[in-house]
């Protein structure tokens, strides 16, 4: 609307064109400068509000993960707070294994306080099917290997699947529980997390207690 209005005024005052042109140039410049100031004024709050968000990300904002594509037995890795986090979809066979070697573990019920309360049990997870762990050895911080389909039996007889840290030989089962007689003192850490729905998990925060 305003552009149409300016055009009509120009055709009605052609005789004053040089003066109007001068005024228009001034208005154009004045508008641009104001616009520029406005843009700077708008940019400062935007940057100010963006910076904390960037800092929060560096410090470790929550990470949302789509788990719908994880195959049974598969492990995927995501990064959270600059740490690798593993999400494993455990099969019924893997879950069954967990009850077979608890006498060989240092802390089978995860009584050491280094994970959410929901992880203080055999499965160490909110849903038995999904194991979520910080993938860092609790000895000196190496990243253990996932050995599956019988490969872990070369490390612990009778246990087909598990995690092995080659740095100094620590061994963990498919709940991240550490075996006895290895240098790692504690089970692998379970991070705080919550399920938004069957296909989505958020790493970094737990659901509020109801
Ligand atoms: S860092 Fe894993 S056994 Fe030493």
SS3 201: strand
Q: Is the CB of 165 within 6 Å of ligand 1?
A: yes
- In ligand 1, the atom with minimum distance to the C-alpha of 142 is 1
- Note the pLDDT of residue 210: 54
Top mutation candidate among 106, 135, 137 for ligand 1, by most atoms within 8 Å of CB = 137
Which residue puts its alpha carbon closest to atom 3 of ligand 1? Answer: 168
78: pLDDT confidence band, cut at 50, 70 and 90? Answer: very high
Where is pLDDT greater, at 11 or 132? 132
- Which candidate, 206, 197, 202, places its Cα nearest to that of 62? 202
Top mutation candidate among 170, 171, 185, 186 for ligand 1, by most atoms within 8 Å of CB = 170
**Other Cβ atoms closer than 10 A to 125:** 22
Per-residue pLDDT reduced to its tens digit, 92-149: 999 999 999 999 999 999 999 878 999 998 999 999 999 999 999 999 999 999 999 9
- What distances in angstroms separate CA 101 from CA 46, 111, 172, 178, 183, one per listed residue? 56, 17, 11, 11, 19
pTM of the model: 0.72
Residues 6+ apart with CB under 8 A from 184: 137, 138, 139, 165, 168, 170, 172, 178
- Note the pLDDT of residue 59: 58
Residue 98 Cα, ligand 1 centroid: separation in angstroms? 22
Per-residue pLDDT reduced to its tens digit, 155-184: 999 999 999 999 999 999 999 999 999 999
Strands 200-203 and 193-197: antiparallel
Q: Is the CB of 140 within 6 Å of ligand 1?
A: yes
- Note the pLDDT of residue 207: 79
What mean pLDDT do residues 31-59 have?
39
């Amino acid at each position: 609307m305003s552009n149409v209005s300016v055009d009509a005024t120009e055709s009605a005052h052609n005789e004053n064109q040089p003066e109007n042109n001068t005024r228009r140039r001034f208005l154009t410049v004045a508008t641009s400068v104001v616009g520029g100031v406005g843009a700077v004024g708008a940019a400062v709050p935007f940057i100010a509000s963006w910076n904390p968000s960037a800092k929060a990300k560096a410090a470790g904002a929550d990470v949302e993960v789509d788990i719908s594509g994880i195959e049974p037995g598969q492990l995927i890795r995501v990064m959270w707070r600059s740490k690798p986090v593993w999400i494993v979809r455990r099969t019924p066979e893997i879950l069954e294994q967990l009850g077979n070697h608890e006498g060989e573990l240092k802390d089978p019920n995860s009584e050491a306080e280094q994970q959410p309360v929901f992880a203080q049990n055999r499965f160490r997870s909110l849903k038995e099917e999904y194991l979520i762990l910080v993938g860092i050895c609790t000895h000196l911080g190496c990243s253990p290997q996932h050995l599956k389909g019988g490969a872990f039996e070369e490390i612990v007889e009778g246990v087909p699947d598990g995690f092995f840290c080659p740095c100094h030989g620590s061994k963990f089962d498919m709940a991240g529980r550490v075996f006895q007689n290895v240098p790692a003192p504690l089970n692998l850490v379970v991070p705080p997390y919550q399920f938004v729905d069957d296909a989505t998990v958020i790493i970094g925060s737990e659901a509020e207690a109801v």
